[in-house]
Structures are given as structure tokens and as C-alpha cells.
Amino acid sequence: MEHAEILHRCFRCGYCKLPGSYQDLNCPSYLQYRFETYSPGGRMWLLRAWLDEEIPTSARLQEILFSCTACGNCVEHCVFPKFKADVLNAITAGRGELVNEGSVPRRVSDFFKAIHLYGNPYKLPEADRGAWAKGLGLEPYRGQEYLFFAGCAGSYDERGRKMARAVAGLLQDRGVSFGILGALERCDGNEVRAMGEAGLFEEIARHNIAKFLDAGVVKIITLSPHAYHAIRNYYPRFNGIFQVLHYSQVLARMMSKGKDQGADTPLTVTFHDPCYLGRHNQDYLTPRMVLAALPGVELAEMDRARVDALCCGGGGGNFFTDLLGSGPDSSSRVRVREAAATGAQVLAVACPKCAKMLEDAVKAEALESALRVMDLAELVQARSV
Amino acid sequence: MSELKYDQKICTKCEKIDCLTRCQHIALDLEEARQEWMKILAGRDSRVLHECLTCYACEEYCPYHNHPFYLIVDRQEELSAWPVPVPLTKQQIAMMAPKGQIVAQKVSAPVINLCSFPMLAGSIQGKLFAGASIIGGNDLFCNIMWLHFAKNSVIRERLPKVINNLMDYYLKVSGVDELICFHDECFGTYTQLAPAFGIEVPFKPIHLFEYLTKKLTELKKEIRPINAKVAYQRPCSNRLVPETQHWVDEIFKLIGAIRPAREYEGENALCCGMVVQAAQRDDRADAIQKRNLDDMAAVGARYCVFNCPMCFMTLKGMVAERGMTPILISDLCRIALGEGFWG
Amino acid sequence: MEEIYRELVKIVGERFVSNQPEERFLYSRDPGTMEPHAPDWVVMPNTTEEVQKIVRLANRQKIPLVPMGGGLVLSGLSRPLQGGMVLDMKRMNRILEVNEASSYVVVEAGASQGMLQAYLKKHHPRLKHSIPDAPPIATIGGNVLIHGSGHLSAAGGFHSEMLNGLEVVLPTGEVARIGSCSASPYWFSRSPLPDLAGLFLGWHGTTGVVTKLAIKLFPARPWNDVGIFVIEDPELAPDIIRRLARVQVAEDILAWMSPKPDWAKGFQMINIAYGAETKAELTLKRDLIRESVRPYLERKVGGFMPLPPDMKVRFLEAPQSTLAVFADVNKGGGFEYVGAIMPVELFAPAFRKGLEIAESRKVPYSLGARIVGLAHCMMFFYAYAFNRADQADVRRAQTALEDTNAMVLEMGGIPWKAETPAQKQIIKKMDPNTFALMNRLRAVLDPQGIMNPGNWEA
């Protein structure tokens, strides 16, 4: 197994479970399950025991490994400088071993199957992929400056579609030259990769790269930080080299010429850093620049922000497989309680998975009257004249 | 063991004993100074050997360039009049020892030597340093610092090896004969101390100030004047090479920085206090630092500019507390060129 | 077995009990060198009532019960030596009350050090607790109960001395309160009542399950500094440490001796951390500390390292996050230490003998001593790193630890949170009547012998 040589080097000191302030548990699966086995160090030791055949390949082991949301908190806070960068990679590699053995939870194999057969985890026809854009008058991609990549959640999920429409509408309003692939688009593969299905990921990546190159794509704007991460950091391994931007980075450029025009009634907003924009790609500033450019908007940070942000729980495939499960200790619910505690009226997000996870959590926590989940583009639109 | 290039006759004939009468830290009238200096010449113990804060100033004050400070340090070592507690000295000697990890590397001019501060490599960027090769690390450490520890023996032992390292691993193999010294200490070592210790230096040391002046002159059109008062913290090692001081004025002129007249500058400059702390005289260090900072604040400085990274690290917090921005001189120049700065 | 599992599910819910191989594997060991012993069940209670029910079940069924906090003791004390249940207490992590006026906090036993530290920083920024150098996920309860020490031990002694009171589920299931809280709504002290806290401190979970506790808080100062005094003769250490401690301004005094980095080898570094309300007070305290060791400065045999402020930051960190990194010294992932509680005058032989053992056993080592109280005693630690993936290397470290435990006892020190073999060595040296009294108390408290059996046994 790749990275097997670092498994025994984990001391299980537990810094990986916490944010930099140590204030509370910051590993979503450990927060939810509380058994040491569900912490990053627990997974490292279990993987070693499994490779050494000290424990069997069980359904529980599979659940333990696949409930990791790949949020990167462990990598950020591990105190071992010589191998911290590979802590999550080792867990991903462990998932890969289980995938190779064919020993994965049903929901995980269903997910892979759906991607394989339908090109999306929703098992919906690829032909419907562009339906989210209906009525917006968006152009198909034919050499415009940017390709706008909506991704699976942006194409099929109700919340994601709303967000995709907001982003595309805003880009349109601001005169950004872009097109979409519509039915020709396919899953970006980031979750497949994070779930250890390296072969399927390569297939997806190569497919997308070929499609992008055929269409003459040079620059890509993604709706999802997950797609941004995969295209930016993994597609180059298959010779897919594109200039990729997360949509917030485009918004920030549009707004950089001073305060945006629009409503200036006071509004307190808190921002939830998406893991794949923040910890995985170290962009904490851009979304805050967008918020800072909105008149009347005041940013109230949560205690856990930037490198310390608590994941919404939707990463690492859990958005689809839900191996993390629900309940008051699920990280999405903990997160919206933390957001509400700032006194903010709006919980701003920059990822369709976060939007959906946190919106559901707001309902579960009965916080609808106090806290509204809005994506950055929706917020910019709402504040524009 | 290389002998100090020192002429006893000059001292015996000296009438003013500037080295001691002008000392900022030991109060001696001419007669007392003469008596103490005669003791030092004779190799006997003197209160000077024990009270010296190793600020290097006497090296500058001597009108005959007869190296009184180096003699003091030699005597301190001979008589075990340690300025710094022995375990700390030993620890520093171990800490700064050559690592033997150096590998030959092709470099091209300009070659910037960061000495034992390779961590400042982030400061060597932008237009001023375009195309520069950066070298540094303990194997290139100039070792002048042992003057503060009464350990000229370590200088004599290590410096020739460092010079060989510079030549063998970088300069000779690359056909480069100039070395830009990022830090005053290196420039002082190679131009002033090494000759005094009879150690040959086969390359041409260039002071960072000279390099910056030249580059800034080339980039003159791109300079946006700083238009602010800047206090300059002159480090102890500049006492060895006072002839380089005019470059500071030239740099200030080029970048449009205003250098207000201060009480503690030039020959009256004050030490940053770090070596005074090493000598376990925190009360003295506090007083020196306070005088220095009061003086900077009194002239309304917005920046305090440093050449020595150690002065920078020692004083930067205190400077900032007084509402001034502490900054390395290379970074100040980069600001004038519209570049962000590191550090 | 299945029936017990179902009973446990009834008490804590299905999600918080496991009899699966994964949990049985992981809870059978800690990061130290002791061999694994698997539990049959791992249970995570959420309330004192749940703990009570679990204890009663264990009693009825005569099932061993091992309470566990962070599981970071390194000497294997939370391994269930005879199987049974491991009680992972970390769900009980609430901070219940902070009394600003009388400077104490009441927490559930599973609250972590880091969580309390962050909570106080945010809500009571003028107060702090004594944080040990264990990782921040370590629990307050666990550390107090093993007689831990930490970043305020020079000011306040052992963490068990900072204990104001506790709530405990006795081995037979009753809940008892100890200290002022047994007769008052306040948790202000253990005095003036008969001090029953001693029935639970240092017993390694053999006398009950502590569910709540109150500990003393101390001023969190806005200005903080650390001096590092360096010597190269361990014989000087006791007098220097006494002088430094008796100034009564240090919050923490910690000596450290390590062969790495090169510049540390052969020297003894003594960190003195202190805080103040103003910069002037900080300077005054620095001068007082310096004055206390004046004779050594004048003889030039010791001195404070000259460090720019930036370089001091890492020495002021609590807990010291770099300590865990010792485990990776040879890419091995493990270390364990003997923490010997001993009088300060034994510093030099303790150091020399530790060095001899480490060098003869060829184990990577790091030595040091945390001073407790005004140099009333010290926790001298001998940390040995090992490669977890190499059994021979683990054994080598184990042997060095065994040698060290024997050496410490021989010298007159007592190993802290001792491994079970070391507990037996301590018992051998112990006054037989003391051990007999321990056994009588234990028999009264735990008639079925269910609490962490295998510990404190001859």
C-alpha cells in the first residue's frame, strides 16, 4: 500500500482531532462517532493492523475508513513535520486497498457504479446535465474565455442547481465570457479519487481532459471547490493542464475595483471555508475579499475559521454515501450552531456540497428563522441593485 | 596560529588612548585609561577586560587602526576573562560549528552570501536581486561573532576553512571572484579582520550597501520615494568598516528616505543590546535599548532600518511597540521599487 | 457476552458501545511499549447516571472495568489486563462552572486540557489552568488522578494538589462527592473535611470512576517571558533550581537535557517561565530571577541564553507541541518515559545514571525534570524513543525503561504512573503496612475486584 511506511510513525497524540485553538473536536468522523478508531490516528493504526492481518476486513473497518471526509484537518494540525503531508494520503491509499479487494460499503460501491454507468452519482441521464441552465440563455462552450464547470451537484442537486444558476447568472451579468458543456460535461472525479478508486478517477480525468482539449478549453471556472481541486492538482498528472479558477476567485476580481454597488442595509455574515478551497488549496482570502466588497456586509468570523474550519461533513464522498450519519454531533449541525452563535444572519458558503449540508443542518437545528445559508454568488446578487 | 597585526610601539606612544577614553560603556579618564591600557599591553589583568561589552567601537576610535579591540579580545581569552558565561560560549560554539554538509555548486555573479542567516533567503528577491545566486549556512559562517565571546582562537581556527569553502565550493568552480556580503559582519571579516589576523582572502568582498546603491541607480526610474523619516541601526560590525557608512546616505537619497540627525548614530551609535544580554547584563541592555529607541522616536522616525539580522531580531518588537516599522535595508529598497517585502 | 452487549446498548445506546475487532484492537494498547490486552467491550457513557448503570452491571456480572481518559499515559494503565470493559470517558467533556471569584472550574472528567484552555481564553481571559505537556486531547480528569504536573507546577505543585473536589462513582455504583462540594454548593477546597480524595488519586482507576472534578485556576498574565539558564555541570542544578524556585515568580521550571540538537548535548538547560501584569513587572521579575543565581553568573559557570523574543515563543507554548515529535526521531513512531518523582538533590545522579542507561541500551533519549512547588520535588523524566514497527527495538526501549525504574527506586525516587511491572517493584520497596492498608481500602471499596484489576497488585 502506498504510504504504508508512515502508518507506524503516527504516535496517536491526537493533535489531528483538534483545531489550532484546541477548542473542540474538529475531525468530523471522530466528532460524530467518538471511538478512537474513527480518528485519523486510529485509522493509521487500524490500517497497519489490517495490513499485518491482525484485524480482519470487516464491514466496520470499511465504514471507519470511508466515514473520513478528507477535510484535511489532520494534515493541517499533525505535529509531525516529516510525514504530516501524507496522513490523509495514507487513509486514501487504505481506501484504495479496500477498493482493490472489492471490500467497500454498499453505498460506496453504489456510488462508483453510478459514476461508472451514468457519469454522475445521481444515476440521472447525462442528457439532463445541462438542464440546470434552462432559461438563462447560457451559451455552449465554443472558444469563449472560460468554460464554466457546474459539476454533478451543480447539475443535479436542487440546492446545487440554484447555486449554479446564481453563479452563472452573475458571471453573465458582469460580462464574463464563458460557455458550458451541458450534456457533454461529466463528473470531475474528485470524490472518486478521495474514495480511493484511482483507476476510475484516471478514466474520468482522461475523459474530461480529452473533452476539454477537443473543445479548446484553456481556462475553467468551477462551481465546486472539489472540482477546482481535482482539475488544478490532479488533472496535470494526466497532462491536463488548465488555468482553473474557483468561481469566488472570479467574483473577487470583478469586485476588486472597490465596494460593489448595491444595497447597503447592515447584514452580518459569517463565512464557512470549504475544505477544498481552504485547507487543500490555502485560499482563505478570496471569499473574504468578495464579502468585504459588499456594502453593509459585516463579517463575523466563527471561532473555527480558515485552517481551523470545521468541515460540513460532505467531503470524501460522504455527501453521497452519508457514512458519517446524522444527529446532533454531525459536523454540519455542530457547524451551524457555531455559525448561529456568531449572531450572523447569513451563513455564506462557496461550495454546493456545503450549501446543501448546512442548509439541511439549519433545518434540523430549527435555526431557519435566525440563519440563512447563502452562497457567495447568491449573496452578491441579493445585494446588487 | 596567526598573530595579530598589531604594533605595540604605536600604543606606547599614544597620547589620547581614544580606545578607552571614548568608550561608551566604561568611564575612564585619560590617566586611568592609560594605566589600564598599559596593563593590557603587558598581558596583565585589567578591569577593562571584565567590563568590556564587546561593542567593537574602540576598533573605530583608534586613529592608528592598531586593532585595540582585537587585542582586548586576545587578552580576555589569554586571561580567561570571559565576557559571557562559559557554558553559553561553548553552546554557541557547538551551535555555529560547520556542518560539513556543503556541496559544490555552480554560481553566477552576483553571488549573495547570507552567511549564517540562510533563513533570510526570502528577502533576496525582486528586481534588486534578479539573477543573483544565494549562498549561506554554517559552513560559510564568517565567525567574527567570537569577538563577543573572547574566542579569537575559534576565529583563527574556523575562518580559513570558511574562506576555503567559499572558494572551493562556489567561487573558484564558478569562476566568480566577487562576493556580495549581505551582512556587515562578513564584509568586516573579509576586509578588515582577516588581514589583521594574517588570514588571506582570495576574493573581492562587496558590501551589500554598495551593491544596493549600484542596483538602485540602475533602477532609478522605477523608484517611488519613501518620503518618510528612517532611523538607521548601525551594527557593531560596521565599526570595523566605517568607510562604508556613506553608502547608507546614498541609498537613502536614492529611495527618497529622510535620515534625520540622531544623537546615537555614526561613531556614537548604540549596540542593539543582544551581546550585552549574552554578557548577562540585562539592566545595561535595557538602558542602552531605551536610549536608542527614545532617540529614534524623538526624531520622528517611521521606519527603523537594519543591516544586521541579529539587531533586527533583537529590536524589532521594541521598535514596533514604539509605532515604528522595523525593516531590513534590502526590504526598504524593495518597497521603494513598489515590491512587497518579506520579513 | 451478547447479553452484556445488549445491556450496555440499553445504557448508552448502540452507537456508543462496541465489541468489534477494530475497537478491541485499538483500545488494547497505548502509544507506549506495554504489550496489548484487548477489552471485550468499549463503552462511552455520557452521564454520571450511565456510568453508575455500567458499574452496577459490571458488579453484577463481575466484569473488569477500566476507566480511560485521553489514553495517553504511555505506561499502559488503561489497557484492560483482564479484559472486560474499557470506559472511554471523553464524551463527558462538559465545562460545568467557572468561579471567577474563587478561581476554580468544575468540569466533567473527560473534558480535554485543550478544550478548557481554549474555553478560558475566550470566556475568562484572566484565568488559566495548569496544562501538562501531554497533547491537548489529554483529559483533565486523567491527568489530575495520576498526580500530573504542568505549566503552573512551580507555582501550584502537582495537579492533584490543585484538585478542589470531585464526584466519583464508587465501584459498587454509589455516587459520592468529595471535598467542599459534599457539603456546600461551592467546589472551593478539600479542606476542612477528612480528605477522601486520596482514595482516588494515584490509584490508576482501581477505586472508582471519577465523573466530575474541580481544579484551581490561576491568573493568566498579559505579559509572559521565559529565561533559559544553561549549565554544564549537573551537580550545580539542585542549588540553582532551589534558588530559581524560591524567588516565587516562576510559573514553571523545566530542565531539559538532550543529545540533539548538537548544541544541546552536554548541557543542562533550565527553562523558567513567568508572567506579569505589566512590562515593568515582567522586567522586575526577570531581574529577581537573575539575581537569585548571581553567584553562578559571576563565576561564569552558568548563564541565561541570549534569545531574541521570536525565538522564545516556542518555549512559552503550552502544551509543548514539539514534544510528541520525539517519537519520530528515528522514524519509529514511539516513545515512552519514566517520570520519576524525587527530591531535587538527586538531580545529578539521576541525570548521570539516566545517561548511562540510555547509552548502554543504545536508545535515543531525552531527559529532563519538571520542578514541582518551590523545588519541593521534581518529576525527572527519562524518555526513550523506539520504532513501533520493530519488535526488537520496542523491547530495547522496554528494557531501558525497566532499568530506569529500578535505578530510580534504588536512588530513592518513585516512578510516576508506573507500568504494572514497575508498580510491583514499588510495592516491594513499600512499607508492608502501607500496602496492606491499600488492599484493605480496595477490598472495602471494590468487593468484587472489578476495577482495573492487575494494577497495584503484588
Answer whether residue B107 is part of any domain.
Answer: yes
Distance of CA C413 to the CA centre of its chain: 17
Distances (CA, A) of A356 to A112, A123, A179, C427, C457: 21, 19, 25, 60, 56
Looking at CA atoms only, how far is residue A226 from chain C in angstroms? 30
Q: What is the mean pLDDT of residues B304-322?
A: 96
Q: What is the pTM of this model?
A: 0.95
User: How many other C-beta atoms lie within 10 A of the C-beta of residue B261?
Assistant: 7
Task: Give C90's contacts in chain A (Cβ within 8 Å).
Answer: 34
Statement: residue B343 has pLDDT above 70 = no
Q: What is the mean pLDDT of residues A199-205?
A: 97
Given C25, C321, C335, which is nearest A54 (Cβ)?
C25
- Partner-chain contact A8 C332, CB within 8 Å: yes
Amino acid at C384: Y
- The domain ranges of chain A are 4-104, 126-252, 256-383
Are B229 and B202 contained in the same domain?
no
- Partner-chain contact C324 A82, CB within 8 Å: no
Phi, psi of A330 (to 5 degrees): -70, 145
Q: What is the mean pLDDT of residues B16-35?
A: 96
Among the four given CATH numbers 3.30.230, 3.40.50, 3.30.70, 2.60.60, the one describing domain A256-383: 3.40.50
- Partner-chain contact B95 C262, CB within 8 Å: yes
What is the structure's pLDDT at B341?
55
Question: Domain boundary at B178, B208, B238, which?
Answer: B208
Contact between C12 and C50 under an 8 Å Cβ cutoff? The reply is yes
Sign (positive or negative) of CA dihedral A13, A15, A17, A23: positive
Q: Does B94 touch chain C (CB under 8 A)?
A: yes
Looking at CA atoms only, how far is residue A242 from chain C in angstroms? 38
Looking at CA atoms only, how far is residue A80 from chain C in angstroms? 6
Are B121 and B14 contained in the same domain?
no
Query: In sequence order, what DSSP letters do the residues of A299-346 get, joined into one string?
Result: E---SS-GGGPPP-S-TTTHHHH-TT--STTSHHHHHHHHHHHTT-SE
Looking at CA atoms only, how far is residue B273 from chain C in angstroms? 10
Please list, residue by residue across C140-165, b when 16 or more beta carbons sit within 10 angstroms of its beta carbon and e when fewer do.
bbbbbbbbbbbbbbbbbbbbbbbbbb
Given C44, C117, C137, which is nearest A34 (Cβ)?
C44
Q: What letter does residue C205 receive in the DSSP assignment?
A: T
Q: What letter does residue C228 receive in the DSSP assignment?
A: E
What is the structure's pLDDT at B122?
85
Q: Does B86 touch chain C (CB under 8 A)?
A: yes
Work out the percent of chain C whose per-residue pLDDT is above 70: 100
- Partner-chain contact A22 C113, CB within 8 Å: yes
CATH number at residue B244: 3.40.50.1860
Given A13, A35, A54, which is nearest C23 (Cβ)?
A35
Answer whether residue B342 is part of any domain.
Answer: no
The number of folded domains in chain B is 3
Amino acid at A266: P
Residues in chain C whose Cβ is within 8 Å of chain B: 230-232, 261-267, 283, 286-287, 290, 296-297, 300-306, 308-311
Q: Establish, for the pair of chains A and C, how many residue pairs have beta carbons separated by less than 8 Å.
A: 113
Q: Does B145 touch chain C (CB under 8 A)?
A: no
Q: Which residues contact A350 (CB under 8 A, 6 or more apart)?
A: A225, A246, A247, A248, A271, A272, A273, A274, A277, A287, A375, A376
Please list, residue by residue across C278-294, b when 16 or more beta carbons sit within 10 angstroms of its beta carbon and e when fewer do.
eeeebbebbeebbebbe
For the segment A246-283, what is each residue's pLDDT rounded down to a tens digit? 999 999 988 855 556 677 799 999 999 999 999 999 99
User: Does the domain spanning A126-252 belong to CATH 2.40.128?
Assistant: no
- Partner-chain contact C302 B275, CB within 8 Å: no
Instruction: Classify strands C414-416 and C333-342 as parallel, antiparallel or unpaired.
Output: antiparallel
- The neighbours of chain B, by the rule of 3 or more Cβ pairs under 8 Å, are C
Q: What is the mean pLDDT of residues B42-59?
A: 97
What is the structure's pLDDT at B2?
66
Answer whether residue B87 is part of any domain.
Answer: no
For the segment C403-454, what is each residue's pLDDT rounded down to a tens digit? 999 999 999 999 999 999 999 999 999 999 999 999 999 999 999 999 999 9
- Dist CA C213 CA C94 (whole Å): 11
Given C22, C327, C331, which is nearest A55 (Cβ)?
C22
Sign (positive or negative) of CA dihedral C233, C239, C245, C250: negative
Statement: residue B235 has pLDDT above 70 = yes
Which grid coordinates belong to B45? 589583568
Contact between B49 and B75 under an 8 Å Cβ cutoff? The reply is yes
Smallest CA-to-CA distance from B145 within B184, B203, B199 is with: B184
Same fold, A126-252 and A256-383: yes
Answer whether residue B88 is part of any domain.
Answer: no
Q: Does B313 touch chain C (CB under 8 A)?
A: yes
Q: Does B79 touch chain C (CB under 8 A)?
A: no
Statement: residue A88 has pLDDT above 90 = yes
- The neighbours of chain C, by the rule of 3 or more Cβ pairs under 8 Å, are A, B
What is the structure's pLDDT at A260?
63
Phi, psi of A268 (to 5 degrees): -95, 125
Are B283 and B299 contained in the same domain?
yes
- The domain ranges of chain C are 2-90, 92-219, 223-418
- Partner-chain contact C321 A79, CB within 8 Å: yes
Given B275, B280, B314, which is nearest C308 (Cβ)?
B314
Q: What is the mean pLDDT of residues A58-78?
A: 98
- Partner-chain contact A23 C119, CB within 8 Å: yes
CATH number of the structural domain C223-418: 3.40.462.10
- Partner-chain contact C26 A45, CB within 8 Å: yes
Do chains A and B meet with 3 or more Cβ pairs nearer than 8 Å? no
**Domain spanning C92-219, CATH architecture:** 2-Layer Sandwich (3.30)
- Dist CA A203 CA A214 (whole Å): 16
Find cell 532611523 and name the residue. B231
Are B189 and B266 contained in the same domain?
no
What is the structure's pLDDT at A354?
98
Give, for A97, the enclosing helix (H) or strand (E): helix A87-101
Q: ipTM score here?
A: 0.97
Give, for C210, the enclosing helix (H) or strand (E): strand C209-216
- Partner-chain contact B85 C300, CB within 8 Å: yes
Q: Does B335 touch chain C (CB under 8 A)?
A: no
Best to test chain B binding among C229, C256, C263, C282 (most B CBs inside 10 Å):
C263
- In three-state secondary structure terms, C107 is strand
Given C71, C334, C387, which is nearest A36 (Cβ)?
C71
Looking at CA atoms only, how far is residue B219 from chain C in angstroms? 34
Statement: residue A385 has pLDDT above 70 = no
Task: Give B92's contacts in chain C (Cβ within 8 Å).
Answer: 263
For the segment B236-259, what is each residue's pLDDT rounded down to a tens digit? 999 999 999 999 999 999 999 999
Which grid coordinates belong to A333? 449541525
For the segment A348-380, what is each residue's pLDDT rounded down to a tens digit? 999 999 999 999 999 999 999 999 999 999 999
Task: Give A34's contacts in chain C (Cβ within 8 Å).
Answer: 16, 44, 88, 90-91
Amino acid at C41: W
Q: How many CA atoms lie within 13 A of C43 on its CB side?
A: 32
**Domain spanning C2-90, CATH architecture:** 2-Layer Sandwich (3.30)
User: Quick one: closest CA in C to B90, which residue?
Assistant: C263
Answer whether residue B83 is part of any domain.
Answer: no
Q: What letter does residue C156 receive in the DSSP assignment?
A: H
Q: What range defines the domain where residue B311 resides?
A: 213-336
Given C22, C121, C137, which is nearest A58 (Cβ)?
C22
Are B203 and B225 contained in the same domain?
no
Q: Where would I find the beta strands (DSSP E) of C80-208?
A: 85-88, 95-99, 104-108, 127-128, 163-169, 175-179
pLDDT < 50 regions, chain C: none
What is the structure's pLDDT at B342?
46
- Partner-chain contact A11 C31, CB within 8 Å: yes
Q: Which residues contact B229 (CB under 8 A, 6 or more apart)?
A: B257, B258, B259, B260, B299, B300, B301, B302, B303
- Dist CA A17 CA B89 (whole Å): 42
For the segment B97-154, what is each residue's pLDDT rounded down to a tens digit? 999 889 999 999 999 999 999 888 888 889 999 999 999 999 999 999 999 999 999 9
For the segment B283-302, what is each residue's pLDDT rounded down to a tens digit? 999 999 999 999 999 999 99
